Structure 1
Amino acid sequence: MKETIVKLKFCTLSFFDNYVISVINEGEHIDYDLNKILIKTIETHYHTPFVYITNRINSYSVDPNIYPRTTEVKNLAGFAVVSRAHMAKVNAQIEQMFFGKPFEIFSEFDDAIKWAIDLIEKGQN
């Protein structure tokens, strides 16, 4: 499984065949403009279904109003949040209400990857 890493000013993206893992920098606020950059970067990598996995090891905020636009990303099959922090999970539950595709919250990174692969495989059947 080949990994391609792209570093942006506000995050690091690790691209794999069926999923991308993002690590947003500490203290960032993901708003419309940063989301636009994320979407553009990701859309250049994927022309087949993929899952976005955000590894929330840092503390940052997300404007939930970005999710309707994110939901429109053509090949985006699902969205996963990985965090062991209680507040990050609570925030993700709120974000989940704004997202129109499969959206899951995990404590363990491996569980998110397994879910992403299963989601892609189910979509191809």
Structure 2
Amino acid sequence: MLTKEIELDFGKLYVHENILIAKLDEGILLNVQSNKRLLKLGAEIFKNKDYGYISHRVNSYAVDPMVYIDSAKTSSLKAIAVVSENEMTRKNAEGVEKKFYKDNNCFSVFRTLEEAVVWIKTRI
């Protein structure tokens, strides 16, 4: 059940129980600065409670893999999922982005949002 929608200048965030779901805008670059804003919002919304993050990639955009270094340092962020119907996007997330997310937290890639939500809930 969706509880809140947050409008950002580079996309939208949806708060679903203890999950942040991001639908970012076409053509943006998710860089370290933008990611810090997402992590800050996660900390404010969940107040040090464990949560998961789903990147629902309905639009095509670039991700600076360095964002995963800060994300991995966020102890309350327990899992990251990437959702895309595009096979190339999924392969890139699995083959490149995942390698930068180095900690005990989990990173996985899915074809549907429903699969990602079920998986995230098992990690929190």
Could you state the TM-score of these two structures normalised by the residue count of structure 1?
A: 0.91
Query: Does structure 1 retain, via aligned residues, the 8 Å contact 2:6–2:14?
Result: yes
Q: Give the CA deviation at 1:74.
A: 2.3
CA deviations on 1:10-67 (whole Å, 9 max, x unpaired) are: 0100012221100010000011111111111221101211110010000000000111
RMSD between aligned residues: 1.1
Alignment of structure 1 residues 55-74 onto 2, 5 Å: 55-74=56-75
Alignment of structure 1 residues 1-125 onto 2, 5 Å: 1-46=1-46, 47-93=48-94, 94-100=96-102, 101-120=105-124
| Paired letter, 2:111 | S
Paired with 2:122 and 2:66, the residues of 1 have a C-alpha distance of 28
Paired with 1:87 and 1:104, the residues of 2 have a C-alpha distance of 15
Paired with 2:112 and 2:97, the residues of 1 have a C-alpha distance of 19
Paired with 2:35 and 2:120, the residues of 1 have a C-alpha distance of 21
Structure 1 segments of 4+ aligned residues over 2 angstroms from their partners = none
Unaligned runs of 5+ in 2: none
Q: Give the CA deviation at 1:2.
A: 4.9
Q: Flag the structure with higher strand content.
A: 2
Paired with 2:10 and 2:98, the residues of 1 have a C-alpha distance of 22
Structure 1 residues 2 and 90, CA gap change in structure 2 (3 angstroms): closer
How many percent identity over aligned positions? 31
Could you state the TM-score of these two structures normalised by the residue count of structure 2?
A: 0.91
Unaligned runs of 5+ in 1: 121-125
Report the count of equivalent residues.
Answer: 120
